Structure 1
Amino acid sequence: MNEHEDFSIDCKTCIGAGTTACNDCFVTHLLANDDGPIDYVPVVLSEVPRLPDPQEVAIALFIRSGLVDDPIQLVPVDEFTGYGVPVHA
């Protein structure tokens, strides 16, 4: 997902756990509730699916609606500028 190594913050392995430094730790503030700090539960993250290319989505919609041939037939520029009238050299 990123180029950096994975890291974790674990209060059980922190050298400042249980000291006055723990009271000022931002992790304690983030993970604390009315009963005190909560236990960290590791979660396996799944890969985020790739979003479809907007152009692919648009072409698929045109094909489904019958506005574009399937498979798509590309038209040369000369023929396109001739408004669909084939230009034969």
Structure 2
Amino acid sequence: MGFDLPLIQQYFNYVSQWLTGDLGRSFVMNEDVSSLIAQRLPKTLILAIAAVGGACWSPSRWGWPRRCAATSPLTTSSPASTSWSTPPPASFWACC
């Protein structure tokens, strides 16, 4: 495992393995982690697309562009201070 190496060398070994796609082995499944991710990625993407699609086309009093903008990965993964140029009106949160 390399626990006897200096911490900085362990870190660079970890980063170099990560960049080459070697994510190690799962202790529970005893398989390569990258192959486990590859097996589950298609279903995960389908679920994510369905969730965003359902949020964008759900009934609401606003049109779909505003709902999709509010549920896009860009706005949900960034801090609130960068998601909106101005704070949304209080009525925006009372949509549901």
Which TM-score bucket, shorter chain as reference? under 0.3
Larger % of strand: which? 1
Larger % of helix: which? 2
Return the index of the structure with the highest Cα Rg. Answer: 1
